[in-house]
C-alpha cells in the first residue's frame, strides 16, 4: 500500500509555511554557528543564547513538520529509480539535520563542564539533558558533521528543483503558494535563503538577555566564630576610632567577625559575570589603627563551600579542574605589613596559600569604625593560573579570565 489515493497537487499550506520558515531559521542558524567562535565577551554570550534559542525552535518546528509529513497527505513522489532515490535521500537527510542537529547541540551544552543556563529568547528556561560529560565530545563531533552536511544538501536540493523547472514539470510549484509557481517562486526562495545567511553572518545580535545572566544569589554567610587571640593584646596601644565617637582607652585590638560578613569572588564565563561566595570561612583579626606594625589577619577558607548559584557549576569548581577541594580543602591567607593609604583606607601585604601554591597577595580596604563595631570592605586581585586553578581546557583565558577579584565585607566587633 505505497500508493496514496488522491494525492494533493501541492503540499499542505502549513507544510509550506513550515518549509520556508525552517529554510530561514536553518540557514541563519548555520551562519550564526560559524560566527560563534570569533565573537568575544558579551556578544559571544548573546550569540550563544540566540544559537541555542533558534536551534531549539528548529527542533520543535521540525517535529511538527515531521508529524505533518507522516500524517497529512502530500503530493505523490515524482520520478523513477535513481532520481526518486536521490530525492528521498536528500529529504530524509534534511530531516536528520533538522532533528539530530539541534539534539546534538542540546547534548553539547547539557554535558559541558561549566553549564550555562539556557533561557530561550531571554524568556523560557530550557533544561539540560541528564547525560554524563562523556557525551560531550561525541556530540560535538556529531554536531559539526550534521550541520556541515546542510550546505551540501541544500545544493543538491536546489539543483533538483532547478532540474524540475527545466523539465517544466509541476514539482517546483508544489512547495509554493499558487501564485508563486515557476521561476518567480524559486527566485523568491533563493533570495530568502541568501538574506537569512547574510543576517546570520553579519546581522545585529538582538540582546534579549540583557537582564537574564542574573548574578548568582549571594548566599547568606555564616562565618564560624573567630578564635580570639589575646597574647599581644596587653601590649597593644589603645585604638582611636575613626568616628567622632570619642576617646577610647586601653581597648583590645582583637576583633570578632560577625554574621552579615561576606567573602566572595567575581569572575566571568564567556562574558557572563559569575559572582560566588564562600559560605564557610573564619578570620582572626588584630587591628589597631595606631599600631599598624602589629596588625594582622589570619583567615582560613573552606573551598568546598564556594557557591555560585548553580550546583553543577559549583561541583565543577570544587573538583579537580579548579579548587580540587578533596586534596586542598582550605585556602589560608595571612596578612601583615599594613599601610595607611588615606583617611580610612589601608593596604596590607599578605600571603595566600591556595591549591598547594603559596603566593603574595595584596589587599586594599576601607575601614569604618564606630565604637566597638567596625566594617571593612576591600578587594584583592589575583591570578587564578598562578595558583594552578583551572587546568586542561580551563587554563585558557578566552572563556574564564585569569584575573579573579576577591571581595570582602567584614563586620566585626571589638573583643573585650
Q: Give the C-alpha separation, 333 to 76, whole Å.
A: 76
Closest distance of CB 289 from ligand HEM, Å: 53
Run of H or E residues at 142: helix 136-167
The answer to whether 352 contacts ligand HEM (rule: CB under 6 A) is no
* Shortest distance (Å) from residue 220 CB to ligand HEM: 33
Give the interface segment with ligand HEM, choosing from 147-155, 228-236, 255-263, 347-355 (CB under 6 A). Answer: 147-155
Question: Could you say whether residue 385 binds ligand HEM (CB under 6 A)?
Answer: no
Q: Which alpha helices (H) appear in 274-407, and where do they start and end?
A: 311-318
CB of 110 to ligand HEM, least distance (A): 8
- Among 149-157, 225-233, 386-394, 395-403, which window interacts with ligand HEM (CB under 6 A)? 149-157
- In the complex, what is the shortest distance from the CB of residue 2 to ligand HEM, in angstroms, rounded to a whole number? 14
**By CB under 6 A, residue 17 contacts ligand HEM:** no
Task: Count residues near ligand HEM (CB under 6 A).
Answer: 44
Q: Is 180 in the site for ligand HEM (CB under 6 A)?
A: no
Q: CB–CB of 262/248 below 8 Å?
A: no
Residue 403 sits at the vertex; the CA angle it makes with 400 and 405, to the nearest 5 degrees, is 110
Nearest to 413 by CA among 281, 254, 283: 254
Residues 18 to 77 in contact with ligand HEM, rule: CB under 6 A: 19, 22-23, 26-27, 29-30, 33-34, 36, 51-52, 55-56, 58, 69, 74-75
| Residue of 178, 108, 174 lying closest to 141 (CA atoms) | 108
Question: What cell does 390 get?
Answer: 583551572
Asked if 119 interacts with ligand HEM (CB under 6 A), we say: no
User: CA Rg, the chain, in Å?
Assistant: 31
- Distance, C-alpha 198 to centroid of its chain: 26
Question: Of 186-194, 226-234, 324-332, 383-391, which segment contacts ligand HEM by CB under 6 A?
Answer: 186-194
Dist CA 94 CA 61 (whole Å): 13
Query: Taking CB under 6 A as the rule, does residue 16 contact ligand HEM?
Result: no
Neighbouring CB atoms inside 10 A of 23's CB total 19
b (16+ CB within 10 A) / e for 219-233? bebebeebeeeeeeb
Judged on CB neighbours under 10 Å (0-12, 13-18, 19+), 46 is buried
- Of residues 121-140, which lie at the interface with ligand HEM (CB under 6 A)? 140
Please choose, out of 171-179, 295-303, 325-333, 370-378, the segment that lies near ligand HEM by the rule CB under 6 A: 171-179
Residue 106 or 287: which CB sits closer to ligand HEM? 106
Distance of alpha carbon 310 from alpha carbon 13, whole angstroms = 44
Where are the extended beta strands (E) located within 311-372? 330-342, 345-354, 357-370
Return the residues of window 94-113 that contact ligand HEM according to CB under 6 A. 94, 101-102, 105-106, 108-109
Residues that bind ligand HEM (CB under 6 A): 19, 22-23, 26-27, 29-30, 33-34, 36, 51-52, 55-56, 58, 69, 74-75, 78, 91, 94, 101-102, 105-106, 108-109, 140, 143-144, 147, 150, 154, 157-158, 161, 171-172, 174-175, 186, 189-190, 193
Amino acid at each position: 500500500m505505497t500508493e496514496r489515493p488522491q494525492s494533493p497537487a501541492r503540499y499542505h499550506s502549513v507544510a509550506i509555511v513550515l518549509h520556508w520558515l525552517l529554510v530561514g531559521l536553518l540557514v541563519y542558524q548555520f551562519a550564526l554557528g560559524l560566527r560563534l567562535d570569533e565573537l568575544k565577551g558579551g556578544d559571544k554570550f548573546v550569540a550563544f543564547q540566540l544559537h541555542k534559542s533558534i536551534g531549539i525552535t528548529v527542533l520543535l518546528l521540525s517535529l511538527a513538520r515531521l508529524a505533518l509529513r507522516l500524517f497529512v497527505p502530500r503530493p505523490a513522489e515524482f520520478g523513477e529509480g535513481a532520481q526518486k532515490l536521490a530525492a528521498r535521500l536528500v529529504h530524509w537527510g534534511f530531516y536528520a539535520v533538522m532533528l539530530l542537529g539541534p539534539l546534538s547541540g542540546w547534548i553539547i551544552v547539557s554535558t559541558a563542564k561549566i553549564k550555562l543556563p539556557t533561557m530561550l529568547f531571554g524568556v523560557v528556561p530550557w533544561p539540560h539533558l541528564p547525560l554524563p560529560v562523556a557525551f560531550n565530545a561525541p556530540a560535538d563531533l556529531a554536531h559539526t558533521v550534521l550541520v556541515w552536511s546542510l550546505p551540501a544538501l541544500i545544493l543538491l536540493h536546489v539543483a533538483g528543483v532547478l532540474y524540475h523547472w527545466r523539465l517544466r514539470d509541476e514539482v517546483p510549484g508544489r512547495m509554493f503558494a499558487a501564485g508563486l509557481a515557476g521561476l518567480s517562486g524559486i527566485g523568491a526562495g533563493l533570495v530568502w535563503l541568501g538574506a537569512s545567511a547574510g543576517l546570520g553572518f553579519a546581522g545585529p545580535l538582538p540582546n534579549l538577555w540583557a537582564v537574564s545572566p542574573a548574578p548568582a544569589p549571594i548566599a547568606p554567610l555564616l562565618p564560624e566564630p573567630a578564635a580570639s587571640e589575646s597574647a599581644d593584646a596587653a601590649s597593644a596601644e589603645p585604638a582611636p576610632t575613626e568616628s567622632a565617637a570619642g576617646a577610647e582607652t586601653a581597648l583590645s585590638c582583637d576583633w570578632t567577625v560577625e554574621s552579615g560578613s561576606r567573602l566572595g569572588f567575581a569572575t566571568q564565563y564567556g562574558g557572563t559575570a559569575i559572582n560566588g561566595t564562600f559560605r564557610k570561612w573564619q578570620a582572626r583579626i588584630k587591628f589597631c589603627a595606631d599600631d599598624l606594625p602589629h596588625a594582622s589577619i589570619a583567615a582560613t577558607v573552606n573551598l568546598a563551600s564556594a557557591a555560585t548559584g548553580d550546583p553543577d557549576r559549583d561541583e565543577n569548581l570544587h573538583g579537580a579542574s579548579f579548587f580540587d577541594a578533596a586534596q586542598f580543602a582550605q585556602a589560608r591567607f595571612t596578612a601583615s605589613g599594613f599601610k595607611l593609604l588615606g583617611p580610612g583606607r589601608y593596604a596590607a601585604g599578605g600571603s595566600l596559600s591556595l591549591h598547594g601554591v603559596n603566593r603574595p597577595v595584596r589587599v586594599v580596604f576601607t575601614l569604618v569604625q564606630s565604637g566597638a563595631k567596625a566594617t571593612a570592605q576591600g578587594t584583592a586581585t589575583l591570578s587564578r593560573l598562578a595558583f594552578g586553578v583551572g587546568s586542561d581546557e580551563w587554563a585558557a583565558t578566552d572563556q574564564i579570565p585569569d584575573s579573579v577579584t576577591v571581595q570582602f565585607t567584614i563586620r566585626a566587633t571589638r573583643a573585650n
